[in-house]
Structure 1
Amino acid sequence: MADRAFPVVFATRVMATVKFYEHFGFVAFFRLPPDGEPGYVGLRRGAAELAVVDAAWPSDHYARPFGTGARFEMFVYVDDVDAAVGGLGDRAVVLREPADMPWGERVAYVADPDGNPVAVAQAASASP
């Protein structure tokens, strides 16, 4: 059985969304078309993958409209939440400042270029 699965992010500005995820360590490994403005970009970070496609994809491929509002939530782990969020500058709106959660993780929420929420999380410390 195949063991590969990944989310597909619909984006009104494909390259702006790609750059947003590159900030969190994702690296583009596939692009269509290979030249010019892409309609599809595959990204990887370790074993994790995601694809960013033009917002017209759902309408063009299976007759569903591009939705409004939050269409998904991505959860991305980083080594330092405060540095990762601070390093975004004006590339993202902070929806919720970094805060320590009762379960031990430090989490912030930012919006990607299309307003979708992205949780930026730092794993709980192994030490008490």
Structure 2
Amino acid sequence: MWFNVDLRSRTPIYEQIKRGIREAILRGKLNEGDTLPSIRDMASSIRVNPNTVARAYRELEMEGIVMAHQGVGYIVIKDKEGIKEFMLEDLKKDFREIVSKSRRAGFSLDEIVEVISKIWNEKK
């Protein structure tokens, strides 16, 4: 599979699946018009309940990233740029919370940027 699911993470599995699919589109592993693995195949490969995968696929469909097509499955309908914009909006929400907590704790912008920079460089 092109992404990993961490069963011990605080992030729900269906959210991890959605993020994994979005990231696969951004990295070019999935392109507009590609078909996602069937719900059963995906569930089997990451060892989760098929209902969890179905929820992730349904939510991706509601977000306009994939489309269910009778007899074919779920097809990617959003390109890299569309996904990137969507993920940046999601990232802004996450950062908003972090920045708010940091401000209340008395950290400066420079200190926050330094932490982000260190984390960014760790993952290279």
| TM-score using structure 1 length | 0.26
Point out the structure with max Rg over C-alpha: 2
Higher helix share: 2
Higher strand share: 1
